[in-house]
Structures are given as structure tokens and as C-alpha cells.
Structure 1
Amino acid sequence: MKYEHIILEIHNKIAWIKFNRPEQLNAMNALMMDEIIHALDFVNKAESNEIGVVVITGNGKAFMAGADIKEYAQQTDAQFDAFQLKGHSLYAGIENNSKVIIAAINGYAFGGGFEIALACDMIIAAAGTKMGLPEILLNLIPGGGGSLRLTKKIGINLTNEIVMTGRTILAEEMHARGVINYIYPRENFIEKATEFAQTFVAQLPDRLQAIKQLTQEAANGITPALQVKEAAALGKFYRSKEGQEKIQAFYNKSLEKK
């Protein structure tokens, strides 16, 4: 598929999905949403020896400024409802993806842009980046799960304040609250994002996928069934050829030190 509003590139097993409407601050219209969903499906189905990790970022000075308000304002009720429902497929395409997905917030991330980042497995951001869920300022509320996912990450009280005021948040605040993993200097942000992504390329893909599934389920509560599932996954990997090789190598090295 030839994309008009995004760029999909693969370098050294890292797939880069780049929002590419810089003149519109990468605001998402219906076509762009379709393209993002298609790209997510492509990386999900790709072999792990081709793609080990996915990085989502934006071209220009924005990650994504939210929905394209010009298109938003001209939608019929049916078009609006369809756009919102399709958005759920986009966020599910991130959370249920077989690959680890990192949001690399290079610039403004508001509304749907911040919601996309919140759906990712990890978030890194350029220093001083502004973000938020400002829908209340348009007499609306977030519709892509932003307030729901943010509640899981920082709790009810703070989420209420952020969403009910629509205030702008700095990356540093989200980092302090554990939402953002790392903040990197703006001048070499992509270089640092690449280095961060390469950390996960070096790991075995099925281990990463298992951890992703377990932590997502744990976010909804730790149950006895989930603990059994985790133990079963550990047992499987312990008995695997790769697991035994690493264990034996570690054991042998410890003997050498004695």
C-alpha cells in the first residue's frame, strides 16, 4: 500500500511509523487513520526476523496534534461515529500487536496523538515536549480511551484534573509520574530513540510478546489465573533451548569465578 499521510520504514529490524502531515502538525484525518491501521497490521504480521520492534513518531515539530478539526467540523453524524469506532481499531492494533511498540514523542502530542502514545508499550519524549487531552476546551471529552488509559497510569484524581481542565502537560511531569520512560535532548532525539529501540531488538521476540501480554493483563488486576499463566510461560522458556543455554553459560561463568 502506498501511503499519503504516513511513512513506514524498516531499518535494522526497527519499523518506523512516522506521521507525515507536518504542515497540519500531523493532525489525523480519516485517510491517515486508515493508513496507520494498515501499517500496524503489516508490522503485526511481519516475521520477527524482519521486524523486532516498532517506533511511532512524527515528522516536523509535532508528534500528532489530535484529530483534523477541519475534517471533524464537516463530518455527518454517521461519519463522526464511524471515525470514532475505527479509532478503537487503531488503539487495539497497538495494544494487541505482536511487536513491542514505542511512542517516540518528538513534539506536540494532543488529543488523539496523546491517546496513541498512551496505548503504546513504552513512551520516550523530547525534552520540554507539550502534550495533553484538551477536548474539554471544545466542549467535548476524549473518545479514544485517553482518560481511561491515563487513569490506569496515574490514578483517578490527577486524571480528572488533567482531563477536566484540558491543561497542557510537559513531558517532564509525565516522566515524574511514570508515564514516560525517558526524556532525551531534542537535538539528538531520533538517535536516542534508535538506541532505545535497539535494546529490545536484541531480545527474543516471543519473550517480549509474553511480557507484553502479561503486563497488560496485570494492569486490570492480578488474579490467580494470571499468576498461573505467568508461571506456565516461565516454565516454557526455562525448558527451551535458548533458556537452557543461557542458564548453563551463567552457571559455568560463576564456577570460573570460584
Structure 2
Amino acid sequence: MIKIDIRDRVGTITLDRLARRNAMGSEMVARFSAALEDLDRNPDVGAMVLTGDGNTFCAGSDLKELGSMDPAGMAEHERITAAAVRRMPNLDKPIIAAVEGYAMGGGFILACACDIVVAAGTSKWLLAEVPNGWLPPWGLQPLAAKVGPVVAKRLTLGHEMQTGADLHRIGLVDYLAEDGQSQALATDHARRIAALPPAAVRSTKRFFAPMIAGLAEPLDAAASDAFLENCTHAPALATLAKFGVRHD
């Protein structure tokens, strides 16, 4: 479910649920959060790479698992996920996303929360929540920090698929890679960062963290409230019914 590899002062976290396109269920979120904390405390790690197994990054929340919950239960699951992702800008070690294939919904935001984003030019990115009938329940602060609120709003509407090349042009993706080479390029950057003086790297992350994380916690709370309200309307109810979500 989560694979960890440490070499040359780079800790690599691989999301490993290929059958679910590396979707984030409850167990994966818990293991992912623990992996981040463990690598951040490890003195032999100077930087991290986050990637997905099987030539895809992450399909977001596991809708099959969420289908066993009512909307309030879904919101609680998303609250826990949001807390793990909000922690990322406040860790001492930089995190570099390596994106191949699909970065959808929460997977899109997970990449945005990393310090640096490397992506294949043909990678596919989409925030599908609004077309499904609801506002994304967390993570819009790091998106807005990356591209500004006007562009973040357009991307959140989710009316068109984006490629890694599209997002590189607007600054969300920092470095483009050839197909299949995002992890290699991300690892190269991670090794160079890991070779820098650790105290100065830590100070750099801490200095910029408030500007990046900003009001993430209250904004996530407001988004979660909007999500629950949106789930009472017909378009969202129709989407949720496809996944067997309970409404009692």
C-alpha cells in the first residue's frame, strides 16, 4: 500500500494500490501520514520524493470505500486526509512530487502540496469534484498558493482535463519530464537538495510555510461545510448514488 525506499539521502514514498489507481483509502492515508513523519525525523534523509506505482500518481479518495459511508462519514474521512496533507508544508524536509499518468481530485491536490512538482508532459490532471456536484472538501489553499486564486478557481471548476504540459505553462508543475522519467528527474532534484546544508533547508521551508499553508485549516473547514451542503442537492445525490453512498 505504501512503499518506502531510502538511498543517497533521498526517501521515496510510493503509493502502491495499482488496482485502485493508488486511490487514498483510510488505511493508505494513515500509512502515508506515518511515512512522512518517519522520513522527516530520519537523520539519513535530506529530501523526499512522492510518486505512484504502475505509471499513475493518485486517483484521489477511494470512492469505493467512501460508498460504504454517509456524507457525514465521508466528510470525516476527508477531514483526516486534509490534516495529513496540511502537515506537508510544515515538515522540515522538502517533498518532490513525481507525477505520471493520472492525478485526479485529491491526487491533484496531493501533488500541489509538495514543495516541488515534477510531471510527465502527458500526465492527466483533473479536479472532478464540481462536475460531481460538490466543492472539493479540502486542499484548495495549496492550489491557490501555487497558481493564485483566479487560476485556482478555474481549475477547481473541473470542466476540462489538464496535462502536465498545460500546468507547467501556468507554474503548477515546476519541471517537465519525458514520459516515464518523472521519478528519475524528481530524484535528481531531491539528491541535490539533500546535499545542501540541512539547517538552511529547514529554515527555508519554515520561512515560507505560513505563506503557503496560510489559512488552510479554516478554509478546509469551510470547504467541508460546503461539501456537506452540496451533497444535499440533486446533482451530488445522483453522483453519490452511483457509488452506493448511504443518505440515512
- TM-score norm. by structure 2 comes to 0.81
Paired position in structure 2 for 1:94: 88
What is the match of residue 210 of structure 1? 203
Which portions of structure 1, spanning 4 or more consecutive aligned residues, are displaced by more than 3 angstroms? 218-221
Structure 2 CA distance for partners of 1:165 and 1:53, relative to 1, 3 Å: closer
User: 1:165 and 1:218 mapped to 2: Cα distance?
Assistant: 25
How far has the Cα of 1:166 moved from its partner?
Answer: 3.9
The one-letter amino acid of 1:17's match is I
Query: What does the per-residue CA deviation read over 1:20-59, in whole Å, with 9 as the maximum and x for residues that have no partner?
Result: 0112111111111111011111112212xx1010100000
Contact 2:89 2:213 in 1 (8 A): no
Show the 5 A alignment for 1:51-70: 51-70=45-64
Give the match for residue 21 of structure 2.
25
Instruction: Answer whether contact 2:90 2:209 (CA < 8 A) is retained.
Output: no
Match of 2:127 among 124, 129, 133: 133
Counterparts of 2:181 and 2:72 in 1: how far apart (Å)?
A: 43
Distance 1:107 1:79, change over 3 A: same
2:100 is the alignment partner of 1:106: yes
Partners of 2:62 and 2:208 lie apart in 1 by 33
Change (3 A) 1:132 1:207: same
SS at match of 2:67: helix
Aligned with residue 170 of structure 2, among 174, 177, 199: 177
Q: Larger relative contact order (C-alpha < 8 A, sep ≥ 6)?
A: 2
Q: What corresponds to 1:168 in structure 2?
A: 161
Q: Give the unaligned 5+ runs of structure 2.
A: 215-248
The TM-score with structure 1 as length reference comes to 0.78
The two structures, once aligned, show a CA RMSD in angstroms of 1.7
Give yes or no for contact 1:19–1:57 (8 Å, CA) kept in 2: yes
Matches of 1:136 and 1:218 in 2, distance apart? 26
Instruction: Report the secondary structure of 2:181's partner residue.
Output: helix
Alignment-derived partner of residue 186 in structure 1: 179
Residue 38 of structure 2: aligned partner: 42
> Which residue, 123, 128, 136 being the options, matches 2:117?
123
Partner of 2:74: 80
Between structure 1 and structure 2, the one with the greater Rg is 1
CA deviations on 1:137-159 (whole Å, 9 max, x unpaired) are 211211221x3322222223222
1:6 is displaced (CA, Å) by 1.0
Note the C-alpha offset of 1:76.
3.2
Could you tell me how far 1:100 is from its partner in structure 2? Answer: 0.7
Alignment partners' CA distance in 2, 1:217 and 1:74: 36
More off after superposition, 185-194 vs 132-141: 185-194
